[in-house]
Amino acid sequence: MNLDFHKICRAEKKLKKKSVPIMRIMVTEMMVMVVIPMMIAAMADDTNGVFSPCEDSKVQKSDGFTFGLAFSKKEFFFFENIQLSPCDNRLALASKTAQLAVFRPKVDEISLLTINGTIPHAAGGYMVAFAGRKYAARSFPVMVADEQNTITSFTLVLEFQQGTLQNLYWKSFGCDSCSGESAVCLNKQDCAIPTSKCGATGCSLGIQLAFSGTDKNLEALNSWYEVSNLRQYSLYGLYSDLRDTVTSSIPGFLPGM
């Protein structure tokens, strides 16, 4: 996927007029009838009209907030030895086989984001979270995958002051939550799986997302403290266990369909 943010802006503006379901699994017609009102109600609570990760916004609790994840080589996130936002044209990421994922979580809710495992390694192995234009907040590049290992679980904290994003930073809780016979602990802080064990489709990446600071009404954003209190647990691990249980119990079920 090329980093064409103009196309992203045009596409995401259309979201104002329609709802987009996050999960595509609809078991019965009754469930469809339940899910649609929930999505409409969620959109009614969203006062943030900014849908591009390269524009600034001021948010409150229950708003949606759009941010991006860019995947590329570590050095491609720097221009003249200064790290720039992936929105900055001087990086020219679109010409460097970079990949982009855009998300819109609900402010101050703990979210679990999942990404296809082939994307990070093919793009260069490093990841940067970013949002905004004037403040151009961006995280430090973190390694996701190389020829030896793929890190499968991350925690990302979005820090706000009076509703404006100030910082995005990665948190690590060590390797207590590593599980599975193939699990590897890198630098005593990251759980990884040997890349050779990931297969042709790669190892899926899970990102636990939380918020801290204050919204535009000066209300405290507390989801980060909830994540830190549960740091010995991996939401991605729980999700994987649940997914495996569901898929094994439904004949012919295809994950992601």
Q: How far apart are CA 119 and CA 124, in angstroms?
A: 9
Please check the confidence at residue 118 and state whether its pLDDT lies above 70: yes
pLDDT for position 29: 37
Of 36-40, 155-159, 183-187, 212-216, least confident by mean pLDDT is 36-40
Torsion on CA atoms 62, 107, 86, 147, rounded to nearest 10 = -130
Spatial CB neighbours of 77, under 8 Å, sequence gap ≥ 6? 70, 83, 84, 86, 91, 126, 128, 138, 141
Q: Is 15 helix (H, G, I), strand (E, B) or coil?
A: helix
Q: Is 89 helix (H, G, I), strand (E, B) or coil?
A: helix
Mean pLDDT of the chain: 77
How far from 117 is each of 4, 68, 102, 184, CA to CA, in Å?
Answer: 22, 17, 16, 17
Give pLDDT tens digits for 224-243: 877 766 554 544 454 444 44
Do the beta carbons of residue 165 and residue 158 sit within 8 Å?
yes
Q: How far apart are CA 107 and CA 112, in angstroms?
A: 13
Give pLDDT tens digits for 61-104: 999 999 999 999 999 999 999 999 999 999 999 899 899 999 99
Do the beta carbons of residue 236 and residue 208 sit within 8 Å?
yes
- This prediction has a pTM of 0.74
